Amino acid sequence: KQEVTQIPAALSVPEGENLVLNCSFTDSAIYNLQWFRQDPGKGLTSLLLIQSSQREQTSGRLNASLDKSSGRSTLYIAASQPGDSATYLCAVTPMGTYKYIFGTGTRLKVLA
């Protein structure tokens, strides 16, 4: 059974820092991995989707990497801003199913 773990559960950093969020999954047989952002009282917004054949994806200050063989992904946020404060969730789509399996998220707070 696929399980997704995110560490740390919460993170507080000063503005301007570069930071890394971690996601690990137990079964490497996946179609893709996706990173989402969730703001308080709001739904999820997709940030980056990495197909299983890809190693990384970039969007602005965000870079996500995927190491399928070791069951790990990282989300790198450059020059963090207070507006980046949110909960970040990763999800994998296991092969043989089209259902997302989510991690419990990392709650990020960027201090001004």
> Where along the sequence are the contacts to another protein (CB under 8 A)?
4, 31-32, 34, 41-46, 49, 51, 89, 91, 93, 98-105
Give me the DSSP letters along the chain: ---EEEE-SEEEEETT--EEEEEEES---EEEEEEEEE-TTS-EEEEEEEETT-SEEEETTEEEEEEGGGTEEEEEESS--GGG-EEEEEEEEETT----EE---EEEEEE-
Nearer to another protein, 12 or 51 (CB): 51
Nearer to another protein, 14 or 96 (CB): 96
Q: Write down the least CB distance from residue 79 to another protein, Å.
A: 26
Nearer to another protein, 23 or 110 (CB): 23
Q: Write down the least CB distance from residue 111 to another protein, Å.
A: 24
89, 98 Cβ separation under 8 angstroms: no
Q: Write down the least CB distance from residue 43 to another protein, Å.
A: 3
Q: Write down the least CB distance from residue 17 to another protein, Å.
A: 26
